[in-house]
Amino acid sequence: MADETQKFAPGDALRAAFSAAMSAMYRREVPAYGELLELVQAVNADTLGAYPELKAQLERTGELDRLSAERHGAIRLGTGEELSFMRRIFALMGMFPVGYYDLTVAGLPVHATAFRPVSGDSLKANSFRIFCSLLRLDLISDEALRVDAADVLEKRDIFSDTLRTLVREAEAAGGVQVEEADAFIAAVLDVFRWRSEANVSAELYERFLSQHRLIADIVCFKGPHINHLTPRTLDIDAVQTGMPARGINPKAVIEGPPRRTCPILLRQTAFKALSEAVDFPDGDGTSTAGVHTARFGEIEQRGVALTPAGRALYDALLSRTRAEVMPAPDGSNAAAYAAALEKVFAEFPDRWAALHKQGLAYFTYHLTSAANPGKQTSLDALIETGHVELIPITYEDFLPVSAAGIFRSNLGDEQGESFTGEEMQAAFERLLGAPVLDPDTVYAELQQSSREACQAAIHARQTTGAT
Ligand code: OOG
Ligand code: NI
């Protein structure tokens, strides 16, 4: 009898195909993204050549293979119905909602989650993530505009009938059939492409734009166009420096922590959106030509995931840096900011062993082939004697509000917030139709299961006496 599981395309394979198809599409839609990919690949090859230890570590964790295909994207949705159906699509590709992000603290009228693979094996196979925001209509202060937005969103359907049918059939069958995989990917891809024909008149577009540019971007179009795709680099400073030569002008300051020997969390930089031609229907069969500016380019360098204690230290140091030097939007004090960041973050331990010992970051544990661990069973002691090697667990999530959010909370700028964080998360989860996973739990479980496996391996080696 044929293996039953063979008739379904595995989620990991669908996600890899989806990620590759998105990348090819975005390359066609936003040519600077193609330039950026080439630069990132060149820098990554140089970095791997210059740092054999980093190369060995990435090889060990399986990240070397996934590196050139690694990227994240972002989309913005208008309604709970869109969000919950999106969740069902992503689930078929092995992508699950992790984390809740309240972007109102950064002055954006949205909240969000990230759809991503969760298990170690799935991350290794393909780590494609999509940051997915949902508009908070309740934050549109202009009553008439709020009603208009709800009305426009109510009337659109961002999913084709083909896609809705494929998703329902796949859910009922327990997966996407192998012979439907290409049609499924094509139908999903179609949701995220750019559509130059707007949903609203030029006049209504301008009204949304003047309330908030994000609202115009979400409400006025027929689909949630992918707004950026971000490749992962091993040396963001080198990419930042190399961009102008390729005609790309990045923002002056790299967001996140400073350059370190042991990278933590996430460092990101972006370059400006392109303006795209749009046709705004006048309502009488004619249309008005205009432009829309929303899509941009971004790169990132990923470091180790931090524990809650590590994250608290990171937040405190970033906030202290910003109290010293607030980066100006025009980049005029970029060097002073970089210097302050470097100086303040000197307090954050920059050795893997120290980060582990102080419980600031997450690791997996690997018994080295060196020698017999003897009778010693304490992991800490075995790490010190070199019998157990620590491998940092990569941060797989996002930091979209760290910069702006910390600044605003320092200023106590929280007027107008009528809901607490927990209430809003619960409301978001109701619309999503599922709870979001807590990123910290995901990392803690990866660390714990690795600890247990390593301890079992130590025990096995001690009892057999093998070296
Ligand atoms: C949200 C962007 C969030 C990141 O890298 O932090 C994100 C958006 O602009 O839609 O992609
Ligand atoms: Ni991004």
Averaged pLDDT, 226-231: 94
Q: Residue 63 — pLDDT band, cuts 50, 70, 90? A: confident
Q: What is the pLDDT of residue 328?
A: 85
Average pLDDT, the chain: 91
Helix (H) or strand (E) holding 310: helix 308-324
Amino acid at 197: E
pTM above 0.85, yes or no: yes
Q: What is the pLDDT of residue 253?
A: 87
Radius of gyration, CA atoms only, the chain = 24
For 447-460, the DSSP string reads HHHHHHHHHHHHHH
Q: What is the pLDDT of residues 77-122, one digit of tens each?
A: 999 999 999 999 999 999 999 999 999 888 889 999 999 999 999 9
Structural domain contains residue 295? yes
Residue 3 has pLDDT above 80, yes or no: no
Structural domain contains residue 347? no
Q: Which of 85, 226, 217, 247 is nearest to 159 (CA)?
A: 85
Backbone angles phi, psi at 298, to 5 degrees: -150, 150
Q: Which domain holds residue 196?
A: 11-303+398-436
- Reported in sequence order, the residue ranges of 331-412 that DSSP labels E, i.e. its strands, are 363-367, 388-392
Q: How far does the centroid of ligand 1 lie from the alpha carbon of residue 458, in Å? A: 42
For ligand 1, whether the C-beta of 131 sits within 6 Å is yes
Helix (H) or strand (E) holding 121: helix 120-125
Averaged pLDDT, 229-234: 94
The residues, ordered by sequence, that sit 6+ positions from 422 with a Cβ below 8 Å of its Cβ are none
Work out the burial of residue 215: count CB atoms within 10 Å of its CB; fewer than 13 is exposed, 13-18 middle, 19 or more buried.
buried
The residues, ordered by sequence, that sit 6+ positions from 30 with a Cβ below 8 Å of its Cβ are 274, 295, 297
Q: How far does the centroid of ligand 2 lie from the alpha carbon of residue 218, in Å? A: 17
Q: What is the pLDDT of residue 463?
A: 82
Q: How far apart are alpha carbons 431 and 82 in whole angstroms?
A: 9
User: How many CB atoms within 10 Å of residue 343?
Assistant: 14
- Nearest ligand, CA 101: 1
Structural domain contains residue 178? yes
Structural domain contains residue 82? yes
Q: What is the pLDDT of residue 370?
A: 66
The residues, ordered by sequence, that sit 6+ positions from 200 with a Cβ below 8 Å of its Cβ are 152, 208, 219, 220, 280, 281
Atom 4, ligand 1: residue with shortest CA distance: 400
Amino acid at 462: Q
Amino acid at 460: A
Atom 11, ligand 1: residue with shortest CA distance: 74
- Nearest ligand, CA 230: 2
Q: What is the pLDDT of residue 411?
A: 46
Structural domain contains residue 49? yes
Q: How far does the centroid of ligand 2 lie from the alpha carbon of residue 289, in Å? A: 29
Q: What is the pLDDT of residue 287?
A: 95
Averaged pLDDT, 67-72: 88
Chain-centre distance for alpha carbon 430? 22
Of all atoms in ligand 1, which is nearest to the CA of residue 131? 11
Provide the domain count of the chain.
Answer: 1
Q: What is the pLDDT of residue 429?
A: 98
Q: What is the pLDDT of residue 465?
A: 61
The strand pair at 287-302 and 110-116 is best described as unpaired
Q: What is the pLDDT of residues 377-425, one digit of tens each?
A: 788 889 988 899 999 999 999 998 765 544 454 444 444 445 567 789 9
Atom 3, ligand 1: residue with shortest CA distance: 400
Burial string for 139-176 (b: 16+ CB within 10 Å, else e) reads: bbeeeebbebbbebbeeeebbeeebeebbeebeeeebb
Residue 279 has pLDDT above 60, yes or no: yes
Tokens 């608290």 sit on residue: 312
Distances (CA, A) of 384 to 139, 352, 358, 380: 53, 12, 14, 6
Structural domain contains residue 161? yes
Q: How far apart are alpha carbons 344 and 70 in whole angstroms?
A: 31
Q: How far does the centroid of ligand 2 lie from the alpha carbon of residue 130, in Å? A: 9
Structural domain contains residue 227? yes
Residue 271 has pLDDT above 90, yes or no: no
Structural domain contains residue 223? yes
Most informative mutation of 86, 221, 228, 395 for ligand 1 (most atoms within 8 A of CB): 228
Q: What is the pLDDT of residues 297-350, one digit of tens each?
A: 899 999 999 999 999 999 999 999 999 998 887 889 999 999 999 999 999 999
Q: What is the pLDDT of residues 324-338, one digit of tens each?
A: 998 887 889 999 999
**CATH number of the domain where residue 16 is located:** 3.10.180.80
Most informative mutation of 105, 229, 398 for ligand 1 (most atoms within 8 A of CB): 398
At 255, list the tokens: 């967001």
% of the chain exceeding 70 in pLDDT: 93
Atom 9, ligand 1: residue with shortest CA distance: 74
**Are 364 and 450 a contacting pair, CB within 8 Å?**
yes
